[in-house]
Amino acid sequence: MINATEQLDRRVVVMTAGGLNPTLVVQHLAKAGMDVHLLLENPEGKGEITRRRARKLGWIPALGQLGTMIAARLLRRLADRRIAELLAEHGLDRTLPETVPIHPVTSINAAETAALVKQLKPGAILLVSTRLMSARQLAAMPCPVINLHAGINPNYRGQMGGYWSLRENDGQNFGATLHLVDAGTDTGGTLYEVRTKPAPSDFISTYPLLLTIASLEIVTRSLNDALEGRLAPIEPQGPSVLRFPPTFWSWIWCGVTRRIW
């Protein structure tokens, strides 16, 4: 029987804005015997995301990226069919374990989040599908902060890393990275990588799930390393490129001409 001290030594906080992918991660960690607490932040709105991208890239690319996000949502029925296949294939389901406490917060960068982490005393923190953690908040975290990134760093930092690897004729790097979080965007030291291959029925809406499922074992390995004090990050090699979702017109063009959807 696990006593309170041993359980605290295995405590992990997962921060997320919600969704299927973090649910699968939490399921896997709970089955691995970790004491998982879920901090659920309010997701960023599409308007907020679009304005931030417009400041960085200009309004035309930002609106084009918004168009792709809307189109992907309209294809949800098609995505759900493939998602059901993947879940059945791997024996996974869509429900959070009842034993996992859920702590709603406004943002992972809020003062309430730092206070809650201090109270929970985790040995490691995992980010899955969240906004970026601010440098100030990161400095306040009492333990290693790790991110599950759906792309191979550093060439596929940012968003839609699996999709961009296919567009760059680099399908051998269709994969995901577990890395330490630093002040940059997916620039922290790499802990583990995994690569897989999409099926012809996969597309931009199912790539993240495919990569999450492929990453479950290295997620557990990374957190075990953090809990046991044996993290060994390495500096990722190669060109460093920050990716964004494709604009709607470039996504359509690439789908029609190259069958990369």
The predicted structure's pLDDT at residue 10: 84
Token pair, residue 140, equals 């306040």
pTM: 0.90
CA atoms within 13 A on the CB side of 22: 21
Partner residues linked to 177 by β-bridges: 149, 193
Contact 161, 246 (CB under 8 A): no
The tens digit of pLDDT for each residue in 144-199 reads 999 999 999 999 999 999 999 999 999 999 999 999 999 899 999 999 999 999 99
The tens digit of pLDDT for each residue in 83-127 reads 999 999 999 999 999 999 999 999 999 999 999 999 999 999 999
Helix (H, G, I), strand (E, B) or coil at 132: coil
Residue 153 sits in a domain whose CATH number is: 3.40.50.12230
Q: What residues make up the domain containing 17? A: 4-258
Number of domains composing the chain: 1
The percentage of the chain sitting over the pLDDT mark of 90, rounded to a whole number, equals 83
* Whole-angstrom distance, CA of residue 39 vs CA of residue 21: 15
